Structure 1
Amino acid sequence: MSRKKKTTEELGSARWVKNLIHEFWATSPQNTLANGTGEKAWDEPLVGFARANHPLFRQYAADFSPFYWTPEQAFQLAFPEDPATAEELSVISWVLPQTAATRSDQGQADKVPAERWARSRDFGERFNCALRLHLAATLTAAGYPAVAPERLPGFGFQRSERFGLASNWSERHTAHAAGLGTFGLSDGLITPRGKAIRVGSVVARIDLPGTPHPYDHHQAWCLWHARGTCRECVRRCPADAISDAGHDKDKCFTYIQQVTAPYAQQTFGTEATPCGLCQVGIPCEARIPA
């Protein structure tokens, strides 16, 4: 098979996968805030791809060692009788941007999250999980075995000596490898649709072209890291968990567990752990900051 023909096939597969994601976003009744208005939880998604042998996945595994999964390790957990090499796998990543209404409400909050935001963290993430499972099942049924690492029984959080509390599969880091964004001072991912987002991914045995990286550094789109300016996320954080040194995960976690999650449950009846105040009212809320 010529490289030209293979590239054409890859591009066709990429269009198909993107269409699967967009169709589910557009038609699934689970894409809802469940607030009685009928409004969707998320704006139209962004989609990117990375080859599973991209060096960043090896780097992540080394940095978060020993518990972080490479794509092929996650795939093997789902298909132990049919493992694949990194060269045979692609990683599909998507960004779900918050709606303008949710961002507007959240921008007016200062200590605890707005109702729309709390609902997006609960019902919106339920949709994200449904999208993960739908895409993996659809690909598998079409002859492309696939798994959503975040949905595996072994997914969880551990203590990394270097980075503190960390999961064994990071949706944000996966999106960075798939050309969808770079990290900010708060550790949030700044994408072409900004930082007010959720992210998901699937690993599949399918040939997809890696999305080009429109950046040359993992913090390139953050004004603080690029120019030493901004710091608006520092101002927005009610837990004092963001500073010039970065994101204090323990302070952030404690504030969510003790303040925002109980507030959201008691006030809105939501079950997730929302905060996200550092993701709005900032230059990178809904775009790459200039």
Structure 2
Amino acid sequence: MNEQDIIISHIKEYVANYSKYDVKNYPYINDNSNGSNSPWGEPEVAFASAKDEKFQDLKKIVGPHHLLPKDFLEDAKTVITYFIPFDKQIVKSNVRTPEAIEPSNLWYQLTNDTNNLINDLNDSLIKKIQELGGEGTSFPPSSPKFEKENLTSDWSIRHVAHIAGLGTFGLNNMLITDKGCCGRFGSIVTNLAIEPSNKENKQVENCLYKYNGTCKKCVIKCPNDSFYYKDDSYFCDAEKCYNQILEKNKKDACGKCMSGVPCSFINPVSNLRKD
């Protein structure tokens, strides 16, 4: 196997075999496609060249504080990104109803467990990279920070994953992959020169609203009316979204705008492109 295949295999096997969570917290999970009785599905993995000019663009799109791959490693060559999808039953438990506008206990539990999984996976992935003769890091010398003034991170993993070709942004600012948007993203910067993913046809809009003006389900699902209409389009108010997550819910979780919508588990535009 080449280095790209080795990394992909390592990520998928690690997630499939991860056991540092309490199974009793997830009594309704399905048998996932990877054959394990796990609250996670099989990850999607993509690679980008650390010299991709789109990383520099993030200093305009996100903010001048956004880091570049070389801020992680001076000789950075590749950015590895991955998406870990949530089990469908757990996502369904989080669908908004008039009685349920806060995140379900299952969703909140899985969000925390997935954060732990990503931290452990990145540690394991760095060791694998070292076995291959390289170095890797998931954090720069000064750890990533969240800018409260403009509600942005100095390393936006979703934007990084978009550059690598994992998906495109939906109306709700979630990145829609081929396996939907319900899940979490991780990234590693390495000085291994790994072939970038083939992004051909990967940058076409995956959001139904952006593709053909339909859907808008995420607008309805938001419990805090975080969407507004301007210049013939909808936008997500980041401040209202942030307020819902940390002030109203009192939890670092919500997910209502991505639960029970066409892009929860799939790229809903892919079938339309086949017509």
Deviations 1:116-160 (A, max 9, x none): 1111111121111211222123313442100013x8642111257
Match of 1:95 among 66, 71, 83: 83
Where structure 2 has 5 or more consecutive residues not aligned to the other structure, the ranges are 30-36, 270-275
Is 2:96–2:221's contact at 8 Å kept on the other side of the alignment? no
Identity percentage of aligned residues: 27
| Residue aligned with 2:186, SS | strand
In the alignment, is residue 229 of structure 1 matched against residue 214 of structure 2? yes
Cα distance, 1:57 vs structure 2: 0.7
Is 2:165–2:202's contact at 8 Å kept on the other side of the alignment? no
User: TM-score normalized by structure 1?
Assistant: 0.81
**Closer, same or farther in 2 for the Cα pair 1:171/1:141, shift >3 Å?**
same
- Structure 2 distance, partners of 1:32, 1:22, is 20
Match of 1:283 among 247, 262, 267: 262
- Structure 2 distance, partners of 1:243, 1:117, is 26
- Structure 2 distance, partners of 1:216, 1:16, is 23
> Structure 2: which amino acid aligns with 1:250?
E
Match of 1:168? 154
In the alignment, is residue 185 of structure 1 matched against residue 171 of structure 2? yes
- Structure 2 distance, partners of 1:61, 1:33, is 41
Is 2:167–2:202's contact at 8 Å kept on the other side of the alignment? no
- Structure 1 distance, partners of 2:52, 2:246, is 35
**Closer, same or farther in 2 for the Cα pair 1:227/1:185, shift >3 Å?**
same
RMSD of aligned alpha carbons: 2.2
> Structure 2: which amino acid aligns with 1:280?
S
| Residue aligned with 2:93, SS | helix
Is 1:31–1:124's contact at 8 Å kept on the other side of the alignment? no
- Structure 1 distance, partners of 2:23, 2:182, is 16
In the alignment, is residue 145 of structure 1 matched against residue 135 of structure 2? yes
In the alignment, is residue 25 of structure 1 matched against residue 15 of structure 2? yes
| Residue aligned with 1:116, SS | helix
Where structure 1 has 5 or more consecutive residues not aligned to the other structure, the ranges are 1-10, 76-82, 263-272
User: TM-score normalized by structure 2?
Assistant: 0.85
| Residue aligned with 1:202, SS | strand
Match of 1:124? 114
- Structure 2 distance, partners of 1:157, 1:34, is 33
> Structure 1: which amino acid aligns with 2:145?
G
In the alignment, is residue 106 of structure 1 matched against residue 75 of structure 2? no
- Structure 2 distance, partners of 1:189, 1:98, is 14
Q: Quick check: which one's helix share is greater?
A: 1
Is 1:61–1:68's contact at 8 Å kept on the other side of the alignment? yes
Cα distance, 1:18 vs structure 2: 0.8
Q: Runs of 4 or more off by more than 6 Å in structure 1?
A: none
Match of 1:201? 187
| Residue aligned with 1:107, SS | coil
